[in-house]
Amino acid sequence: MKFKRAIIIAILLICSTLLVGAAKTENVDEIIKSGEIIEKNHFFSGDRFENNGTIDGSLFVIAQNALVNGDVNGNIFIVAQNEIIINGNIKGDIYIAATDKISITGRVEGSIFVASSIISIEKRANINRSLYAVGQEINVYGIIDRDANLYSSNNMLVKGVILGDLKYNAQTTNIVEGSVKGETIIRNVEKEDTDKFFENTTGQLFSTVSFIFTNLIIWFLLAFVFKETREKSSSLLLGNRNKLFFLYGLVGLLGTIVVSLGFIISYIGIPFGLIIFLLMIALLYTSIGVFIVALSDILGNKYPKFAGGNNILYVVGLSIIYSLIMLIPYVSALVNLLVVIIGYGLIIGSFYHKGEDKEEHSLIL
């Protein structure tokens, strides 16, 4: 099983970042030196990332290789084309995917969601919560304080300590006696079923990770580049005219299709019609993220303490919830259509909405 999805997702995310020009870093490599402290969420896209200092916030990385030696006082989201190594102390959860290998030796106070060809939880690693791993080869030498959910298409080795339950499926296994303190649940399936299960699980995981990253890029742009658009879209949901966003979306979507087709039908207007159509596709692609960011602003203002005063955690949480809803047959299609129309309406409405409802809607970053 080749992890081509990881490469495709990384390329798409990096290209979209470069196109908007906002989340792009000036250097292809970034090294945070030992003793250096970054007191905010940190974003990086490039070839190589290395953290030897301390990040007081969440870390978001899209790179070929990533090395985290220092501490991160937040969550970690990394998509790497080659390898990811986590040696530092992490106070939040970890969501990472790499093509070749992922190695974890540090202390993680949250859970780990990981996908790669080779996954290794080293001897010095200590995971305070649960481990969710999808890979071809999975090795566990460290300590997992809760459950371990391991899905391997080939080999699995458990030589460390799992204080909770072990749930797994693999072709070949080596579980050292006494390493699992809880219950061991085996999913015995044929190789064809294992490969199919692995492919489906990996696809869903990569799809969810890429969806989260896309929404975080949209959040980043709205937070630091298109601030006025973000304020207007949020006030449109919060204000007295909150019914208009759906009307904006429905009329705008139908109107854009009609206008683009009208230009395409006429020979002279074909280029304009294609431009309008491509613009509509781009807006539709970002409409879900815009809706999630606007909704996260509302939740962030109503319940600021729930996410520790950090609005970005609402973006991640809503993205995960939305991805889970998309797994439900029939319901997913209806919800997706409604959210796309609403998000499209928020984008269009932000151009016309005067923001007259200027209540104190402080946006939490």
Give the model confidence (pLDDT) of 197-237 as tens digits.
Answer: 555 555 566 667 667 777 777 777 776 656 665 565 555 55
Q: Is 262 helix (H, G, I), strand (E, B) or coil?
A: helix
Amino acid at 347: I
Confidence of residue 290 (pLDDT cuts 50, 70, 90): confident
Contact 353, 236 (CB under 8 A): yes
pLDDT confidence of residue 310? 58
Q: Is the overall model pTM greater than 0.75, yes or no? A: no
Amino acid at 122: E
pLDDT confidence of residue 126? 96
Choose among 253, 332, 323, 249: nearest CA to 292: 323
Non-local CB neighbours of 161 within 8 Å, separated by 6+ positions: 142, 143, 144, 179, 181
Cα 77 to Cα 4, 184, 236, distances in angstroms: 19, 29, 30
User: How many CB atoms sit inside 10 A of residue 229's CB?
Assistant: 18
Q: Is 30 helix (H, G, I), strand (E, B) or coil?
A: strand
Amino acid at 228: E
Choose among 164, 173, 176: nearest CA to 127: 164
Confidence of residue 339 (pLDDT cuts 50, 70, 90): confident
Residue 70, token pair as written in the block: 């220092």
pLDDT confidence of residue 283? 78
Q: Which is more confidently placed, 79 or 109?
A: 109
